[in-house]
Structure 1
Amino acid sequence: MAKTATGKARSYDPAKVRAALAAQTEALRAAVHRLCGDPAAAALLERPTRLGQWRVRQLVAHLALQLAWLPNNLDQSPQGRRPLGLTAWVAEVGSLAELLDAGTQAHAAEDFAGGPAAVAAGFDAAADALLALLDGAEVRDPQRRFEIRLGSMTLADLLVTRLVEAVVHADDLAAALELPAFPHDRFALASVCRLLADAFAAQQPGGAVELRIPPFAVVQAVPGPRHTRGTPPNVVESDPLTWVRLATGRQAWAAALDAAQVSASGERSDLAAFLPVMA
């Protein structure tokens, strides 16, 4: 696991992760219901998103798939795949883009092809399945392992990946619908920022740059002279949502700089070549 700026391995309290995932899921449900209850819902579902060819309909279908993954795979049998940690998942999940796209398109065509009421009902089914599970005894063993395409993950880590899906795609939904802001659960947003910062540090190990995402994370990364005392010579600072967008390829480094959404000081502080962290 990646180290924080203090050198300690990052951990996520399973109970807090479950509570955050439940809160983020309910916030998403409320957003989907507002969307589907809008008089212009049919047109809004066909709006483009920043995710290639996906429309809002496909985005909602994908969110439902991701939220329902654990309930749908609760009874799977172990397959002995290699252990997979969180920072490795961030680095490798992009390799599944074609498979995820195919699954999303099929789910949208089969289960989310109806009108707005049917879309809301389909999302409700996925959300209800996850929320019921989060309240049950089946998720009380954080070391229980689940098999995904990339490897074998502990339940504790798998639930953090669901936070990533719920936060990143909630921001995608807000962008597509031109909403002023999405009411992210604070712990969910903090966890996603920290994981993406840790993944950046794991992919670009070193101590030449200090990346700050107040109030949630600080990591040191990038090869070069390591800072030990005083003010670091190379500092990058970003607000949480800008960092999420940079780290996942939703926003370009140059655009964030031009908009003063990120500050960068020092000759090694240009992170353009290292982004995105999660493709």
Structure 2
Amino acid sequence: MDLHERLLVQVSVRDVYDAATLAGHPGSGLVFTGQAGHDAVRMVRRAGYEGPLLADRRRYAGSARVRGTARLSADWIADQVEAGATAPLTDSGYIGEGDHEALHTILEQSLQWDDAIAVLPVHARWVSGDLGTLLRTVADYGSPVALVVEDGPPYPPIPLPLLSAGVAALGAMAYGASWGAIGVREVLRHLYPEPHEARGGWRRGGARSAFVVERLEFVPVERLREGTCGCSTCHGRPLRHLAEAEELHVNTHNTKALHGLHNRLLRATHRERWWQSLTEAAANTTAPPKGEPRPHPS
């Protein structure tokens, strides 16, 4: 069991009882998010889940996030290994714009553990303006990494695995990343700059947004309009039915629809060309009616 060409579903620890439903299809896996992530890994492993499992402590997010120069925790690594994680993720802090010291500190420390994946939570400028430096530095250290990109301007696909991502994780895989993880809800698809104004996340009674394949976007369920979905959750029904559905139902639709795209990616002869055509088609979809804002991609 490894992470090669897997599209993982990133969830919170409170999703532990729904984990098999959300990531039970071939080619999937799970990333549990939070300080108790390793406990969730242990629970689903004991329940018989055989897919890849990771635990992202996410010390890099929120108003109390730590800088990437902070010491990585050997106990956190050991807890993941004991719990049955596929590979341990470092509990990295945040790498700000131009913070080369933080980048080098995380990569240097991660080398002390075999098979550990260095989590690199970076300011958007690292991928929009300094990607060459980032890629060279990662290559120089030679350790496996997972990138978390803070919200910012659009950026081209990156050939590195993405955590806490939206559909960009699939784009990264099309351009050479070995795996990726897409958050099951909005707060797990973003690394918000601090301070920030919260834009949703979980709410009682339903999911925040539903994935629309034709747009390559997660759209707030109240704004779903025309179109149907043929995934095994929706069975050809209009997408609008998701506005009244329970959160688990919508999230299951999301993972099934993304699984379908993932399968298409794996079958594509020229993956980069396939992704370019897909994104061009999405950009040319019908614009929202006049006066209605375009849904924020996530």
TM-score calculated relative to the size of structure 2: 0.28
Higher relative contact order (Cα pairs below 8 Å, separated by 6+ residues): 1
TM-score calculated relative to the size of structure 1: 0.29
